[in-house]
Structure 1
Amino acid sequence: MQTHITNKLKEVRIGILMSMLTILFGFGMGGVFGAMEDDLKGYLKSEGKAALTEQYQGDEAKMNAVVSKSWAYFKRAHLHGGAIGAASLAVIAVLAFLSVASIYRAICAACLGLGGFGYSIFWLLSGMRAPGLGGTGAAKESLSWLAQPSAAMLLLGLTAAIVMTAISLFGKTEEKEKEVANAA
């Protein structure tokens, strides 16, 4: 029995590992906040001040607003890491035991794990870049190469997982077909 379970989990191992790394990233961000919040905020402020003349035309209020929103993006990265990582891990655990071809389960799990990790990292990097670029919009745009595929992998992975779950749990099976045949 244990070998069977281990083999099922091995089929979705990339997704499991990436989901756990995403959770670690989210939790780790929380630990870094606790240990270095003032330093992180100071870093964001110094990045904004370095770009004050060029990006903000000397407008400190505008710079401070971007720095504040950048800090919110750091917190978003932390929250996304923990939540998306945990949700992906739960979905992948269900996937592991569905009666669907292992390649589909593996691809779906990988999409969930990699997508969650990439999307969480996107928010951190956006927060880091925004003060120097003069705004969060510019930061997000500069990282669209990461955000869009990550979000797409998450959404496609979850959609595929829902479809596979529905097929596995509500679709016809050989056992059901035998019951119908025996009843007739």
Structure 2
Amino acid sequence: MMIRRIPIFLALLCIIGGVFISILFATQEDYFKDHIKQGLSRNIKIQEIADPVKKTETLKSEAEKNWRYFQRFHFHATGIGAMMMGILLFLTQINAPALSKTISSYLVAIGGSLYPLVWLFAGLYGPEMGRTEAKEAFAIFGYMGGVFLLGGVYAMVLSLKYDLEFTVKARLK
């Protein structure tokens, strides 16, 4: 059934997105760093700094912190994608009602695949907007981490309430 495949697709998409950006880091690191540098040159708060030494220090510090946001996207997309896949595969082995497993899998997949985007968008828009402002503007994606957590907790509750497939098969022998 197609509706049950979508969470697996989202988990794979998340993992692939995280791996893809790491390949881009390896081949196009200058592109990311130039994007950050250009954004910081348009950042009003930084450009208003009168002291040239402080401005240079701030530009360097902000460039490093914004670069870290791109890396966080990679770490979170691949790591959470792998956790999503594990939870989704675990759900296939629980003898719970199909609707309960579907709800849990969608919470895990939607929350897990959207959460890493907060870091991608913070990396893309943070240099010009400001790091705090960018994270606040895209906070909805950060909140998706809670949706992922709810799905994982629900899967855990299901695993406590219902037997696992291999447990049932072992009893039948």
TM-score range, shorter chain: 0.7 to 0.9
Percentage identity across paired residues of the two chains: 24
Deviation at 1:61, TM superposition (A): 2.0
Residue in 1 that maps onto 2:111: 115
Alpha-carbon displacement from aligned partner over 1:127-160 (angstroms, at most 9, x marks no partner) = 11111013x2221111112211x11211101100
The DSSP-based 3-state class of the residue aligned with 1:169 is coil
* Cross-structure match for 1:104: 100
Alignment of 1:147-158 (within 5 A): 147-148=142-143, 150-158=144-152
Partner of 2:12: 20
Quick one: distance in 2 between partners of 1:139 and 1:64? 18
User: Where do residues 3-152 of structure 1 align in structure 2 (5 Å cutoff)?
Assistant: 12-51=4-43, 54-56=44-46, 57-58=48-49, 59-134=55-130, 136-148=131-143, 150-152=144-146
Partners of 2:62 and 2:110 in 1: CA distance: 29
The answer for the alignment partner of 1:167 in structure 2 is: 161
In 2: Cα distance, 1:43 partner to 1:104 partner: 44
Q: Matched residues in 2 for 1:23 and 1:40: separation? A: 20
The one-letter amino acid of 2:116's match is: S
Unpaired segments of 5 or more residues in structure 1? 1-6, 176-184
The answer to whether the Cα contact below 8 Å between 1:73 and 1:126 also exists between their aligned partners in 2 is: yes
Deviation, structure 1 residue 11: 6.1
**Structure 2 unmatched runs, 5+:** 50-54
- TM-score with structure 1 length normalisation? 0.81
Q: Superposition RMSD on alpha carbons, in Å?
A: 2.1
